[in-house]
Structure 1
Amino acid sequence: MKHLSNSTPIAPGPLPAQLVLPLNMHIGAPAKPLVAPGDRVLKGQMIAEPGGAVSAAIHAPTSGTISAIGPRPIQHPSGMDAICLVLDTDGKDEWVTHSGVTDYTELSPGELVDTIRHAGIAGMGGAGFPTSIKVNLGDHQRVEELIINAVECEPYITADDRLMREHADEIITGIHILQYLLNPRRTLIGIEDNKPEAISAIKRACKGCDIEVRVVPTKYPSGGEKQIIQLLTGKEVQSGQLPAHVGVVCQNVGTAHAIKRAVVDGQPLISRVTTLTGDGVARPGNYEVLLGTPVRDLLSHGGVNPDALERLVMGGPMMGFTLHNPAVPVVKTTNCIIAATPEELPEPPEEQPCIRCGSCAEVCPANLLPQQLYWHAKNDDLEKAQHHNLMDCIECGACAYVCPSHIPLVQYYRYAKGAVRQQAADQLKADKARERFEARQARIDAEKAEKEARRQARLEANRKKKTDTAAAPAVDTAALKQASLEASKAYKAAVKAAKEAEANEAENSAELKAEAERLKAVADKAKAAVRDAKNAAPAAAPAEDRVATLKKQVGDASSAYKNAVKAAKEAEANGDDNAAELRASADTLKAEADKLKAELREAKANAPAAPAAAPQVDPVAELKQKVGEASSAYKAAVKAAKEAEANGDDNAAELRASADTLKAEADTLKAELREAKANAPAATPAPATPPPADPLVELKAKVGEASAAYKAAVKAAKEAEENRAENAAALRAEADKLKADADHWKAELREAKASAPATPKAAPATTDQPRIPEATAPQSLAAVDPEEAAKRQKRLKGLKTAYNMAHKQYKEAHAALERAERKEDVTADELNDMQRRVDKLKNKADIARDALDALVEEAKADIRAHTGKDLKTLKLEAARAESALADKAIELQRLRDSSSEESLEALNSELKALEAEAQIARKALKQAVEEQGLVE
């Protein structure tokens, strides 16, 4: 039935008198309104911001006035109401100020993701998942294939077909933006073979691009996300997983078109192409409809006779749902409206008992058991329904279509899914309430223990006072400090209350002010008592004992602070209600740790100089040994914890806690080692001792060993991930640990090279270029060994050549295979041999590419370590400096004849300054690239 609407170009939709914009026209949290009734808005203005991490913004589709914010009928099978923004249009269609970017590569991926998020783009071919989430994957997720879904397999719908015919170039631009964000190995466009004109248009637009157009057979529902992934790549997304878990990201062609408009044109998502079709439509076709347009206005615009209508369907006849109210608005996911006559879509027959024929199981594209799901959903046995993978149902309607008993199976599944989600939400609330109760109980117990400890301390102090009759009565300095602190707090509170009373002209303002003065006197008296106690205090314990005690306290406080920060981050990531309390607790522990660190520094500064002692063991060497032992113990504990977690052992949490404790001890020892190195006296050279070995050589050897171990671990992890081995995560974590070790030794090597005596350099030759100020000139990457850079450049060149040759051979073999598949005289064995050769060459090219990527990433990491900036930042700085210099030169040339001499002198000064900045940026980029062997 696609012939009804695909023969005419896309036409503009109506401009209704009123637009209704639901706040939840996407999956996730509803948007938050930014306007109020009575506000006038312009076309493209954001009127509702994203309401959470998974949310999308809403913009005004045209200019007008917000007349109401309240419940209205929305796009839902049950006909429910939800909060909507109601916009009365003024017919002027005035745009808000907007602009795009001509070169999207000038923006960083983060800036592009923000642009897409604030443009309100959501998936326009499925359930409306916010696009900014799907294109913002973590560093650990590698995108192997980017799939552009252009199948549009459901009957009647032709919106994507006409969009590809008329806007193919804009769609390809949007795909290029997605490639820049995701950096996939392959990009595939899947189109059904019943769209020859769209296939030709997309192929013409793809010429010269690394985008493959795949034509697939016309078969419903091949447009489902998991189905098209299996059809194009052979990969299967397991139950409960997302496509990203198998290295695939899917986007609709309409979404790609909207991304191009948002980034290049600066236009947010305010309209979409919607198919208006059915035998009840006088002018069927595809219309560019403003979001929020009531369906009745679109029906009137298409010439629909309300008296001839039998059913009104939003979406396709398989996955759509019947609209009982034509006031429902068009939203971001509305791809079709079917106005059907009684003969076209008659009312379904009455439901009959299931005869267990099994037809539903035969047609299910997700390989489920619809009959079992039906019984469990009907009996509210949600646990068994979930056991049969209820949540994997894509609600395609194929089972209900073939059911001879006319059972509305999809409705049962939708009901069961909603009940499961509500059950999960209730359980989450109960878990959060339990966690809050347990946290409160733990806090109360801790406060009780703290009070009891203070009470015992006071009793012990009183006993000491009574038994030590010869000594002078001791003064409890801690109690005096606490009293002083409480008096100061009371004074500040009184001052605040007095100020508020004066501001409000209260009658008791004078009394409050007098009370504040009294409390100030009390606070001053308490402070004086603290000072007197400090002056009269007896000689303290030896400074060495106090320093040692404070060091231990600092270590304990730092460990407690780190554990609190970790707990707070986990709570924030899980959205727990006690996240703010945990964060406040962490801040309190940080303040305590900082206070102890300050006391430790003060104790060290006031400690008497130690008398000359007999020769003893070198403390630095001893600490180095302790650091090595502690680090080894920590690594062994981490390895044991990871193995326990991978095996699901019960003691995994205890092992992880033990590893954290050992890490805190190792960090404390490292801090003591750094401090010992800084305070160690300069060693006097002994004439009889032979010169020590070159530390740079030793460190270079350690760097080489650590890098080799890291590369081997990365290779093992990649092989495990490709084979989907169970220990892939553990191997990846081990590789990350080895990378940290390698980075540590590299940092040690750089520090050693920086501390080495500088070799005299020849004076630079004079040039006509502007002199670079010494303070702003880029630092030389002296730590880079020229021989290593030359070796790396040679390896890069060799790997690039190997990859290019392997990739070329793979493409030629793949093209030969495709030509052979089209011939009739080629046997199956010959095709299998050719396929094996293609796979072998592809594997060879992938190995070379992985090695090349690893070496390039290593060079980029060295650039980041030596300069403090990554290669992309250096490129952007150089490009921006060149652009600013060119703009200033153009400005100077333009104003040369019309400006005064003073203005020209100022412009000349600015031009020289920009030339110096550009030269600095050029030199930094060139030096980084050359010294890391990245010229090739």
Structure 2
Amino acid sequence: MLQRLFGFKGGVKPQTHKAPSVQEPIAQAPLPARLYVPLHQSIGGAPTPRVEAGEDVLKGQLIGGADGWVSAAVHAPTSGRVVAIVDHVAAHPSGLPTLSVVIEPDGRDEWIARTPLDHRSLPPERVRELLRDAGVVGLGGAAFPSHAKLTAARSVPMEDLVINGAECEPYMTCDDMLMRERAEEIVRGIAIFRDLLGARRVLIGIEDNKPEAVAAMQAAVCGLAEDYEVVAVPTRYPAGGAKQLIRVLTGKEVPASKRSTELAVQCFNVATVYTAYRALAHGEPVVSRIVTLTGNVERPRNWEVRLGTPLGDLVALGRPKADTSRYLMGGPMMGFALPSLEAPVVKATNCIIAAAPTTFPASPPEMPCIRCGACAEVCPHELQPFELYWFARARNFGKTQEYYLFDCIECGCCSYVCPSHIPLVQYFRFAKSEIWAREREKNAADAAKARFELRNAREEREKAEKAERLARTAAARPAEKKPAPASAETVAGQPAAVPVDAAPAAPAVDAEAVKKATIVAAMERARAQREAAQPRNTEQLSREQQQEIAAIEARRARVAGDPPGTRTTRPGSAPPPAETGDS
């Protein structure tokens, strides 16, 4: 039975430029002199280092442990020695550094002890943990930890597992070549994901400009259950977007506010299920990936490259032409210009394009928007990019959210057709980053305010408790020292009768009196401590020293207000000298 296909609104048909890089099979890239393995290579928390400088490691050894559930581990791409754990430039348009483990290969490429596992003999939760610890993430470009997507909604039984082999970006062919050469292992990885999700059927979507990949995948599923179907979808960018492919194959539209599992469907890239199979069936964590090297090079090809390989070493394999001016990571629609070839290959590196002024000419100057509406016609999410542009440019970020800014997948269709050459996607990214920054600032301010209020409340509580203790102490002291006053009403000198059930009145407490009583009590304690202090080393004093001490004591007595002759001499001190006219 042929699968019914649905359409999606918008999209464009740029030149594909895929043929040059599929002329040769996938090749193994050689080991570089040093590997710079970033610890943060996926969406979510940054893994924590599990090795130290000077430590020897084996291929596949854990060097970065997952930080939380939405995170993925990182492993050594080869055997060698950790020479440093330092900040190194990242494969990111900002060019900012990220914490990386620097490994010097020993040339042996020696694996850790690998233990193959049968996922059917393990609980599903344990399988997800193993995938997380193997570093399996989405290799289509998003790099979202795959184990976090392998839980079906509790209230909605899973119906469709969509496998994304569309690869709609121009120039990119890494998934195409993977399906041609390793289709059987991809299908085995699909079976693992299907068992974890409990999906009723599997739909493998491949653009119809990849007939060899379609044939290879059809041969791999031949003989399996009828609910495995390889579907050739029309070539139209961005048909490889997860939501667009789900729409084409199932007719379901996934809103921005919902997960696809709530609509009983989930989507994974073909390279992702392949690495999941290798992780479980062969005990091999993700230490390499297939990268398309194409563009203005003499030898375009797909290479299996170890993570952490400097991009300069990879680019050299393609022999760039003399007029190459820059390099792009990803496709020309959603990729970005690399800040430096010192940046390493990471899990999200699916394509490197060498650009020249002839193949990628500089963008013309930005012109004013003429509100032609061409951007709205090609938007696959039916947004109004020209309105988003005006509000983003005016920094009216509240309005951008009213026009569903965060539904934008930054596919670049609007920028591609804009006659005014406005980089619309850059404005949308700017607006999103500003909104996120303001939300972070607001959350930090709210947290600081909450801490400040808790601190004030604690101080007020402590002050109240202290005042209450002082009041009880001051009220208790007079009751201990003074007898109870006689009743004013007496009969023949006898106390007046008091009703048996009458409760004694609580003494009224004056705050000022309590304060004064506290001060007086403190002064009395200080006086007693001074009187009890035993002077030392006073036995061998000379007559002059004794007279000086006596004079000091006399002055202290006058200052303290003691009547003459009533101040006692400290034990062990000399008696005061007889008063003379000089004193």
Distance 1:453 1:216, change over 3 A: farther
Please tell me whether residue 202 in structure 1 is matched to residue 211 in structure 2.
no
Please tell me whether residue 247 in structure 1 is matched to residue 264 in structure 2.
yes
- 1:11–1:288 CA contact under 8 A, matched in 2: yes
- 1:33–1:48 CA contact under 8 A, matched in 2: yes
Please tell me whether residue 95 in structure 1 is matched to residue 111 in structure 2.
yes
The residue that corresponds to 2:288 in the other structure is: 271
Q: In 2, Cα distance between the equivalents of 1:434 and 1:412?
A: 33
The residue that corresponds to 2:572 in the other structure is: none
Count of matched residue pairs: 467
The residue that corresponds to 1:322 in the other structure is: 337
Q: In 2, Cα distance between the equivalents of 1:431 and 1:237?
A: 33
The C-alpha deviation readout for 1:204-240, integer Å capped at 9, x for no partner, is: 2112233222221000001111111211111112233
Looking at secondary structure, tell me which structure has more strand per residue: 2
Letter in 1 for 2:269: N
Aligned equivalent of 2:34, options 2, 12, 18: 18
Correspondence 1:519-918 to 2 at 5 A: none
Letter in 2 for 1:64: G
Residue 446 of structure 1 and its aligned partner are, at CA, apart by 5.9
The C-alpha deviation readout for 1:5-62, integer Å capped at 9, x for no partner, is: 1232111112111111122221122111112222221110010111233211110001
Letter in 2 for 1:275: T
Please tell me whether residue 432 in structure 1 is matched to residue 447 in structure 2.
yes
The residue that corresponds to 2:230 in the other structure is: 213
The C-alpha deviation readout for 1:168-222, integer Å capped at 9, x for no partner, is: 1111111111111111233221111111111111112112233222221000001
Please tell me whether residue 3 in structure 1 is matched to residue 19 in structure 2.
yes
Letter in 1 for 2:449: R
SS of residue paired to 1:48: strand
Letter in 2 for 1:81: P
Q: In 2, Cα distance between the equivalents of 1:385 and 1:170?
A: 44
- 2:156–2:263 CA contact under 8 A, matched in 1: no
Aligned equivalent of 2:407, options 387, 392, 396: 392
The residue that corresponds to 1:83 in the other structure is: 99
Q: In 1, Cα distance between the equivalents of 2:429 and 2:244?
A: 20
* TM-score normalised according to structure 2 size: 0.75
Once the two structures are overlaid, the 10-residue window that deviates more, 155-164 or 228-237, is 228-237
Q: In 2, Cα distance between the equivalents of 1:461 and 1:171?
A: 84
The residue that corresponds to 1:166 in the other structure is: 181
The residue that corresponds to 2:379 in the other structure is: 364
- 1:63–1:92 CA contact under 8 A, matched in 2: yes
SS of residue paired to 1:308: coil
Letter in 1 for 2:92: H
The residue that corresponds to 1:232 in the other structure is: 249
Rg comparison, structure with higher value: 2
SS of residue paired to 1:287: strand
Q: In 2, Cα distance between the equivalents of 1:206 and 1:462?
A: 93
Please tell me whether residue 145 in structure 1 is matched to residue 175 in structure 2.
no
Residue 143 of structure 1 and its aligned partner are, at CA, apart by 2.6
Letter in 2 for 1:241: K
Residue 441 of structure 1 and its aligned partner are, at CA, apart by 4.5
Residue 459 of structure 1 and its aligned partner are, at CA, apart by 11
Q: What is the Cα-based RMSD across aligned positions, in Å?
A: 2.7
Correspondence 1:14-53 to 2 at 5 A: 14-53=30-69
SS of residue paired to 1:29: coil
Q: Taking CA–CA contacts closer than 8 Å with sequence separation of 6 or more, which of the two structures ends up with the larger relative contact order?
A: 2
- 1:315–1:338 CA contact under 8 A, matched in 2: yes
The residue that corresponds to 1:568 in the other structure is: none
The residue that corresponds to 1:877 in the other structure is: none
Letter in 1 for 2:201: R
Q: In 2, Cα distance between the equivalents of 1:444 and 1:271?
A: 57
- 2:132–2:147 CA contact under 8 A, matched in 1: yes
SS of residue paired to 2:203: strand
Letter in 2 for 1:31: P
Q: In 2, Cα distance between the equivalents of 1:188 and 1:448?
A: 69
The C-alpha deviation readout for 1:74-131, integer Å capped at 9, x for no partner, is: 1112222222222122211111112111x32011111101110100111100311111
Distance 1:261 1:461, change over 3 A: farther
Q: In 1, Cα distance between the equivalents of 2:230 and 2:200?
A: 15
The residue that corresponds to 1:569 in the other structure is: none
* TM-score normalised according to structure 1 size: 0.48
Residue 290 of structure 1 and its aligned partner are, at CA, apart by 0.6
Residue 453 of structure 1 and its aligned partner are, at CA, apart by 8.5
Looking at secondary structure, tell me which structure has more helix per residue: 1
Structure 1: give runs of 5+ residues left out of the alignment: 471-936
Q: In 2, Cα distance between the equivalents of 1:362 and 1:282?
A: 38
The C-alpha deviation readout for 1:476-528, integer Å capped at 9, x for no partner, is: xxxxxxxxxxxxxxxxxxxxxxxxxxxxxxxxxxxxxxxxxxxxxxxxxxxxx
SS of residue paired to 1:129: coil
Residue 464 of structure 1 and its aligned partner are, at CA, apart by 13
Distance 1:186 1:450, change over 3 A: farther
The C-alpha deviation readout for 1:338-377, integer Å capped at 9, x for no partner, is: 1133221112112222222111111111111111111222
Q: In 1, Cα distance between the equivalents of 2:345 and 2:140?
A: 14
Distance 1:458 1:332, change over 3 A: same
Residue 319 of structure 1 and its aligned partner are, at CA, apart by 0.5
- 1:31–1:57 CA contact under 8 A, matched in 2: yes
Structure 2: give runs of 5+ residues left out of the alignment: 1-16, 485-497, 502-583
Q: In 2, Cα distance between the equivalents of 1:456 and 1:255?
A: 71
